[in-house]
Structure 1
Amino acid sequence: MANTPQARKRIRRNERRADINGNRISRIRTFVKRVESAIEGGDKAAATDALRAAQPELDRGVAKGVLHRNAASRKLSRLTKRISAL
């Protein structure tokens, strides 16, 4: 258990940050799922619109440090490739 006031404060802060980061990751996953469901439905226009909405979310996740930039780039690339194949 934490013995110093600073260590106790870090525990509190880490719990708050974990909640915030979890919400960010969940939001990103939701946007990606919307793109994937549009792709599965075969609707190219809806998939393109969903991808346009998902791209800033992925970029924001990279900027906030919850997602590696190569992972975000890879996700965008793969989704774009799947949409263009429709």
Structure 2
Amino acid sequence: MANIKSAKKRIKVIAKKTARNRMVKSQLKTAIRRFEDALNSKSFDDAKAKLRFIEKKLHQAAAKGVIHKSKASRSVSRLATKLNKAL
């Protein structure tokens, strides 16, 4: 356990940031799962709307440093390819 005041503060800050990162990543995974469910159920209009939402959220997460910007772009690209193949 840390004894120095600044180290104690860093522990609290890191815990907050870790919780936020987990929350954002969980939301992304849920959104991606819902997109794939819409794709599997052949509701393409719904899937397109969900893809736009996912793209926005992925780039927001990348801007905040939750994920790398290349990962965000790669994920959007792969999901768009899945959608285009299904159409």
TM norm structure 1: 0.92
Distance apart, 1:39 and its partner CA: 1.3
Q: Provide the rounded CA distance (Å) in 1 between the counterparts of 2:76 and 2:36.
A: 11
Shift of 1:63: 0.6
Gap regions ≥5 residues in structure 2: none
Offset at 1:14?
A: 0.8
For residue 58 of structure 1, what is the aligned residue in structure 2? 58
Deviation, structure 1 residue 66 = 0.8
SS in 2 for 1:2: coil
Partner residue of 1:80? 80
In structure 2, C-alpha distance between the alignment counterparts of 1:2 and 1:23, rounded to whole Å: 26
1:2-39: CA deviations, max 9, x gaps? 12100011001111111111111111111111111111
Unmatched 5+ stretches in structure 1: none
Runs of 4+ with >6 A deviation: none
Matched, 1:2 2:2: yes
SS at match of 1:9: helix
**Under a length normalisation based on structure 2, what TM-score does the superposition of the two structures give?**
0.91
Give the % identical residues: 33
